[in-house]
Chains A and B, each alone.
Chain A
Amino acid sequence: MPVGDRGRLAAHVAGQLAYRAVQLVALLLAVSTLLFLLLRLSADPAVVLAGEGASPAQVRTVAHAYGLDQPLWRQYATFLGDALRLRFGDSPVHHVAALDLVLQRLPATLALAGAAMALNVVVAVALGVWLGFRPERAARRAAFVLVLAGQGVPAFVVGLVLIQVFAVTLRLLPSIGADRPASLVLPAVTLAWFLAPRVARVTAASVDAAMREAWVRTARAMGATSRELLWRHVLPNSLLGTLALLGVQFAFLLSGSLVIESLFAWPGLGQLLVDSVRTVDFPVVEAAVFVIAVLVFGASALVDVLLPAVDPRLRSRGA
């Protein structure tokens, strides 16, 4: 890369990061405020914590202990002040610090998201390129139909079938827990099954479109082999849409996958978040959403930084 290009890229990245930092603060404030109001308006945590059959006096005791008897604006001010110091309080359900509880689940969520994405990239991009390179061939048309059908099968069905085949019948792979590398295989494959058809379709469509471009005909006329054509010309021009989609999918995975975690006893964020909403465990919900918002934002920012690195046209536009 020439020195001028490198400088432009660095300036672009720095500008993007500063812009994103401001966006992040605004996003966290908006998400926290919305969440705080939704939680307080959707349910009364004191009633849930006091339990079935609690007397009004018992409910009042709980409300007082957790500051839930304060005016809403005062509760919000306290919450905001604590959130700025990353203090979300103790979970009244689990009786430990809410942020610790969330951070304990984070490695499992990241491991599953990373493995599923890796599998997704390897399988779906290769499949998409194959489908899009010569889409008129019968085998590829049939494969495309299979991809569409695969996209229509819900993840929990795929998961249950995979468990039945690989864990129950063949006893090749474990279907529960997160204590061994092998435990990652079935949940990652199930998640990738859910993600891959979309990526394959987008990649196939981009490759197909690129193959119809005039510069492909020119390259062919100049003697480029199919391999050169694909790797040097078509792929770099086709991956922008795929990369953007992968970024969205990765951001989605960071919030945890309830169905997969539920099926495979995977101790990730999704189950914790749903359980916490169910039990109105507001400190955990707030901490989890805060962490997820940061991660999703980070993934999205990373994609924004990567796109210009892949396509020089975006660098010049952004500079």
Chain B
Amino acid sequence: MWKRLVTLGLATALALCACAQSAGSPQRSGPVTLRIGVADLPPSGVPWSGVGAPGQYVWSSVFDALTVVGPDGAVRGALAESWTARDPRTWDFKLRPGVTFSNGERVDAAAVVQTIRFLLSPAGRAQFAAHVSNYAFLTGASELDPATVEVTSSQANPLVPNALSIVYIVPPRSFQAQGVAGFAAHPVGTGPFTVSRWGADGIVLEKRGAGSWRGSPRVDEVRFVPLRDPAARAQALQSGQVDVANGLDPDQLDGLRRQGMTVVNGARGAIMSLALITNRGGPLARPDVRQALNYAVDRDAMARNLYRGLSRGAVWPVQGVHGYSAGRAPIPHDPSRARQLLAAAGYPTGFSITAEVVVGQFPADAEIYQAMAADLKQVGVTVNLVTVDFATQWLPKFSGRARWAGDAFGLSWNAAPLMDGIRPFNFFGCQYAAQYSCDPVAQPMIDRVNDTFEPAARDAALRELLDYNMRNPPAILLVESRELWAARDTVHGLSVAAFNVPLEKVTATA
């Protein structure tokens, strides 16, 4: 009996060892592969299947749009070399000459027009609704000559070049031949990498043989490995199974730094906030109470302790977003002033509010909401935090399909994809379909920014709005949200800004 059991045990162990042979870190010889452990893979190879993370990490290496937003928030040329506004509703984009898709098709005005027209068609608007809603003001595109595209909008809008930075251009023949479903698995673009495999267990990009207009990548291959759990991502990095990991928690980074890893602290053009529902009356309808709540919160402590110094107290807009000013400082932590304002407003003993928040979206977000609640408690305001699911609870309420259960809700002020400071104010405006906040002083300022086309005049109007907002915020501003990545010491040149990861600039040694 025992001999049998021992034999059986040994056989199992041998089978496992045999399986494990040549396991561990694969030998890195030959072509240089960059392996990136990511929290999520893009849902599809069709580059309009979402905005921002996780799609843009991959799509930005395979595709190009007419424009690209740089780390400083400025719009630069990509497939378009230059552009001009013929009138406030008509833009001409001059294409970069000699650019081809990786399948050999030429990038010309017809290709650009076909992409834009598809997205603005009923089919495009339905299938890629979350994407198209970012540039719903576009009305069409037409070919002026093979190298010039005319883009029109329904209203005078200076952000047309910004919006076009997420409209990745696809090759018309390949897209038509494959259809959306075929293209989802076999995407083709103009970027420095081509897709060699798109699967549930990972995405493999290969350096484009002929190079691209963006230059030739310094690594031969990039593998995106989906690793949902942050601890597993860190362990994969430590064990050398991946070279780069994204979406790490701030408290993981100290340990990784000690092991020689490089931390990449990228901007995502967003801040965490608690949006206050101000149009139902009660204390939150009063600007002085909202100011008091902002004075009560210690943002520096959150950034220092919960973000491990990798973020800073929220100020809108953040660096890298149009409208940013270094002179605009976060609201200071001043609990005495908060108490005075509350007392003057008739709430000397404070009050209670319920806030619906989504956690797990940003680094340390659960802890930051808890810290906010603790700070507010110090001035007599009790916050009952209720965690809700984003898709089934938060989104229907934000869209006006369901009613908020509380008095406030967690909201990311996000500039992407336009990377312009005005974006969140359109959700705080009196005209938002699911209105929850309406500041009669701020609304004319919002309208002025939206209605002004001339850049200098618009910048002045934006500045006025942004300065007013920091004095009278419709939300409790918390901390800036950051993209926290880490890379092994064999990786150089990695940068992340506004969800763009220029992988063609990254070097990796075996």
Using a CB–CB distance below 8 Å, which chain A residues touch chain B? 42-44, 47-56, 58-59, 61-62, 64-66, 90, 92-97, 104-105, 108, 119, 122-123, 126, 129-130, 133, 156, 160, 163-164, 167-168, 171-185, 189, 226-227, 230, 261-267, 271-272, 278-280
Contact = CB atoms under 8 A, between A and B. Distances in A.
Given A48-B392, A51-B131, A174-B241, 15 more contacts: A44-B396, A53-B398, A59-B399, A61-B125, A65-B126, A65-B127, A95-B180, A96-B181, A104-B199, A172-B20, A173-B24, A176-B227, A177-B201, A263-B232, A278-B389
Contacts of A167: 24, 235-236, 239, 241
Contacts of A52: 130, 395, 398-399
B336 to A, nearest CB: 37
Interface string B6-33: 0011001000100111111100000000
Given A174-B24, A280-B392, A95 B200 contact: no
B258 to A, nearest CB: 14
A154 B433 CA distance: 46
A92 B202 contact: no
A163 B239 CA distance: 9
A153 B496 CA distance: 38
Given A179-B201, A226-B1, A55 B24 contact: no
Contact of B49 (A48, A55, A95, A164): A95
A123 B8 CA distance: 9
Interface in B42-56: 43-44, 46, 49, 51
Nearest to A274: B228
Given A164-B235, A230-B1, A54 B200 contact: no
A175 B427 CA distance: 43
Contact of A95 (B127, B132, B241): B127
Contacts, number: 197
Report the contact-size class of chain B (Cβ under 8 Å from the partner): 35 or more
A171 B24 contact: yes
B48 to A, nearest CB: 10
Contacts of A54: 129-130, 133, 399
B226 interface: yes
Contacts of B242: 176
Contacts of A177: 201-202, 225
B240 interface: yes
Given A95-B180, A95-B184, A163-B232, A178 B201 contact: yes
Contacts of A59: 399, 401
B201 A267 contact: yes
Q: By DSSP majority rule, is chain A's interface helix, strand, loop, or mixed?
A: helix
Interface of B: 1, 5, 8-9, 12, 16, 19-25, 37, 43-44, 46, 49, 51, 122-123, 125-127, 129-133, 136, 180-181, 184-185, 199-202, 225-229, 231-232, 235-236, 238-242, 389-392, 395-396, 398-401, 426-427, 433
A262 B49 contact: no
A160 B23 CA distance: 18
Contacts of A66: 126
Contact of A64 (B126, B240, B389): B126
Nearest to B183: A95
B130 A51 contact: yes
A298 B395 CA distance: 38
Given A58-B133, A119-B12, A164-B235, A96 B401 contact: no
Contacts of B184: 94-96
A272 B40 CA distance: 11
A108 B391 contact: no
Contacts of A130: 5
B143 to A, nearest CB: 27
Contacts of B131: 51
B136 A55 contact: yes
A184 B19 contact: yes
Contacts of A179: 201
Contact of B23 (A56, A65, A182): A182
B125 A176 contact: no
Contacts of B1: 133, 226-227, 230
